[in-house]
Structure 1
């Protein structure tokens, strides 16, 4: 039995969870999320908890058991609290600003990078080189943050680039003067 999959997901007050045929819907104060699920698991909503059970003991069912429990938990957390990722831009002249539904970044190349902000996400950029990405869908927040980081990965010698605020860059020493 999956250690994660067998745990029930607590549904707080103000959140409505419905499980129809192969579709689970979570509605809360911040919005509404839906997720398809496969036939190898069964989702039941009862007494303020959502419980995921396996239909059989196949490899596919065992793999999906913990997965769908985690997805439901993330959906419930997203519609109540939301998710946030913070990126830090390091480098001389590197900057980012939000212009309407566009994120415009100068990352040391000859041209600026312009990224369209997806629907459902809120992006703020301050003058200190921080970009905050907020939304209710954990996957969407993480994917957009990864796309921004991919534009200029942090390098190990000076630490220039775009990194997550919790990320630690392992620094290397440069060339040593030879005598």
Structure 2
């Protein structure tokens, strides 16, 4: 029994949802998202709510009901309110600058790293060490944040690197000095 899949999705004002077979199109003030969903569930708009139901009680249908409901809810929230991911850069000399659609990272390597931002993702940089990514596609935003973090993941000894704002790094003890 999928408790998540049974809950209806509220449609905020200014958001339109079109369902064409197993293709869902959500349009709102922030942008437009389209997704192909599983054929093992039914999606229907009922007034100001979206309902995800399953026509049969198979294992696949039960698992896809919760998944499709979460994906459609993320689409609705993204086009109406949007999403934000924040990253921090920790380390002496580590910094980031914006040059148009590119971010230029200085992360202790012998060369700077240029990172191109995809369409649909906006960035705000504060004091060259704080990055605020925003966008309406949760999946794309998370992927971009993970790629940026992967340029220099935080290391466990001094904590240097790129981390999520709310990430907690478990620190290791370094070498003990000679007695």
TM-score w.r.t. length of structure 1: 0.97
Distance 2:2 2:124 in 1: 39
Match of 1:121 in 2: 121
Match of 2:158 in 1: 158
Match of 2:94 in 1: 94
Match of 1:7 in 2: 7
Distance 2:153 2:95 in 1: 15
Are the aligned partners of 1:97 and 1:126 in contact in 2 as well (CA < 8 Å)?
Answer: no
SS in 2 for 1:144: helix
The gaps in structure 1 that reach 5 residues or longer are: none
Are the aligned partners of 2:123 and 2:133 in contact in 1 as well (CA < 8 Å)?
Answer: yes
More divergent stretch after superposition (160-169 vs 121-130): 121-130
RMSD (CA atoms):
0.9
Are the aligned partners of 2:15 and 2:29 in contact in 1 as well (CA < 8 Å)?
Answer: yes
Are the aligned partners of 1:26 and 1:79 in contact in 2 as well (CA < 8 Å)?
Answer: yes
SS in 1 for 2:14: coil
Equivalent positions of 1:1-150 (< 5 A) are: 1-150=1-150
TM-score w.r.t. length of structure 2: 0.97
Distance 1:158 1:75 in 2: 38
The gaps in structure 2 that reach 5 residues or longer are: none
Distance 1:171 1:38 in 2: 43
Distance 2:59 2:106 in 1: 48
Give the number of aligned pairs: 179
**Post-superposition shift, 1:30?**
0.8
SS in 2 for 1:122: strand
**Post-superposition shift, 1:56?**
1.2
